Amino acid sequence: MRAQLTRMRLRADAEVELEEHRSVVVLDRAEGGIANDEYGVQAVELLDADVESTLDEDEAEALRIRARTPRWGRELDGRVLPAEAGLDERAISFTKGCYPGQEPVARLRHRGHVNRSLRVLEVEGSVEPGAELRHEGTSVGRVTSVADGVALAFVRVEVPEDAQLEAEGATARLLP
Residues 6+ apart with CB under 8 A from 47: 21, 22, 23, 33, 34
Which of the four pLDDT bands, split at 50, 70 and 90, describes residue 135?
A: very high
Q: Are 86 and 80 in contact (CB under 8 A)?
A: no
Quote the CA–CA distance of 43 and 28 in Å, as a whole number: 5
State whether 37 and 75 are in the same domain: no
In 3D space, the residue among 105, 111, 107, 120 whose CA is nearest the CA of residue 155 turns out to be 120
| Pair 109, 79: CB distance under 8 Å | no
Same domain for 99 and 42, yes or no, is no
Q: How far apart are CA 114 and CA 15, in angstroms?
A: 37
- What is the pLDDT at residue 111? 84
Residue 175: give the domain boundaries.
68-176
Whole-number pLDDT of residue 138: 95
Q: What is the CATH number of the domain that holds 170?
A: 2.40.30.160
Mean of the pLDDT values across residues 90-112?
A: 81
Is the domain of 49 the same as that of 86?
no
- Do 96 and 156 fall within a single domain? yes
Q: State the pLDDT at residue 47.
A: 92
29: CB partners within 8 A, 6+ apart: 42, 43, 44
